[in-house]
Amino acid sequence: MAQKRSVRDLLVFDAVRVRRARSALPSARARLIKLLVLAIAFCSLTFLLPQFPTLPISPSHQRTLSPSPPSSSPSPHLHISQSPSLPSPKIHPLPQSLAQWQTKNDVGDYFSQIQTTSVGYLVWSRFPLKIYLEQPNSLDNSASNLRFQQWVTAIREAIKEWNNYLPLVEIEDPELADIIITRSQVDREIQLDPETGLYKIPRAITAQTTYEFYLSSDTPPILGHRIKVQISPDLGKNATLTTARHELGHALGIWGHSDRETDALYFSQVSDPPPISPRDINTLKQIYQQPTRLGWEINN
Ligand SMILES: [Zn+2]
């Protein structure tokens, strides 16, 4: 019998950020970043670990407002400028791998559960997507290094699985990456429940995916997005793989959850996690047929 762990997803912050991307050239001038609007959202899997006391936490999707942006907030040297008009939402050509995708039986999808953002669906349009994966600093055979290597191997397995549906490539420079995956703990913030007046201590968060928007250094600039995925170092090999599979689904555009535990993007975690399902890919394919402002030129 599948035993569910108590899990909830937490949507804590929602704003809009557009900034000029750092140029691939190592020039300080090229790194001038223009802040226009700010948008970050995140979705995180949280687990109630045995060592934490049971707390009166709502099991439902939760949204709270944060007075200040998280660590990816703009540096002080950024400056506000006049806002050019955003591109109008348009549909990108369907990536070949998704265009060829068909299921034998009509298994359906969970597209109705997918959230859009202030600039449309989180659709990528330039492939292969560049993924940076954090690596250990040294190559020694210490126990901690071996655990790190095991973490890297599990994440690479998840990347390989999704690569069957959208072209992905691992790169070594995080500055150039579309998706950055780090091995780190996700900070927990104590929140005040406005209804009860009591503080709520969030459950341990094992993974978190966030997005931000920026303007590329192309002429004219293109509205792009960048994804950051944090995955805990404390998970076992299989849990790391299934967590990475789930979070990469968000990173590729599935910004929402399935209500069936046979899908990788099921909102909760189960003891026998499924592989990427036909319903996951049907949903992904639907998303990539939606209009978005992302990937199109900004017109002044
Ligand atoms: Zn999720």
Note the pLDDT of residue 85.
85
Q: What distance in angstroms lies between residue 129's CA and the mean position of ligand 1's atoms? A: 20
Give me ligand 1 centre to Cα 258, in Å.
9
DSSP the chain: -PPPBPEEEEE--B--EE-BPPPSS--TGGG--EE-EE--EEEEEEE--TTSPP-----S-EE---SS--TTPPPTT-EE-PPPBPPPPBPPPPPHHHHT---SS-----GGGPPPBTTBS----SSSEEEEE---S-----HHHHHHHHHHHHHHHHHHHHTTTS-EEEES-GGG-SEEEEE-PPP---EE-TTT--EE-PPEEEEEEEEEEEE-SSSS-BEEEEEEEEE-TTS-HHHHHHHHHHHHHHHTT--S-BSSTTSTTBSSB-SS---S-HHHHHHHHHHTTS-BSTTSB-B-
User: Model confidence over 71-102: pLDDT tens digits?
Assistant: 343 344 555 455 668 899 999 999 999 999 99
207 alpha carbon to ligand 1 midpoint, in Å? 9
User: What separation in Å is there between the alpha carbon of 255 and the centre of ligand 1?
Assistant: 8
Instruction: Find the 33 Cα to ligand 1 centroid distance in Å.
Output: 30
Range of lowest pLDDT (32-36, 175-179, 190-194): 32-36
In whole numbers, what is the pLDDT of the chain averaged over residues? 77
Q: In the prediction, which pLDDT does 77 show?
A: 54
C-alpha 62 – ligand 1 centre gap (Å): 13
What spacing in Å lies between the alpha carbon of 246 and ligand 1's midpoint?
Answer: 6
Q: What average pLDDT does this structure show over 156-181?
A: 98
Residue 86 alpha carbon to ligand 1 centre in Å = 28
Centre of ligand 1 from the C-alpha of residue 243, in Å: 9
**pLDDT at position 235:** 94
> How many whole angstroms from 55 Cα to the centroid of ligand 1?
21
| The predicted structure's pLDDT at residue 300 | 64
Beta carbons within 8 Å of 170's beta carbon, 6+ residues apart: 131, 132, 133, 156, 159
Please state the pTM of the whole predicted model. 0.73
- pLDDT of residue 216 exceeding 60, the answer is yes
What is the CA(239)–ligand 1 centre distance, in A? 14
Q: Say what the pLDDT of residue 79 is.
A: 52
pLDDT tens digits, residue range 94-151? Answer: 999 999 999 888 899 999 999 999 999 999 999 999 999 999 988 888 999 999 999 9
Q: Which two tokens stand for residue 182?
A: 């780090």
Q: Please tell me the predicted confidence (pLDDT) of residue 62.
A: 25
Residue 37 carries which side chain, given as an amino acid letter? V
Distance from Cα 7 to the centre of ligand 1, integer Å: 10
Q: Given pLDDT bands bounded at 50, 70 and 90, which one contains residue 270? A: confident
End-to-end, the C-alpha distance of the chain in Å comes to 58
Architecture per CATH, domain 60-287, reads as 3-Layer(aba) Sandwich (3.40)
CA of 179 to the centre of ligand 1 (A): 16
Q: Is the pLDDT of residue 42 over 60?
A: no
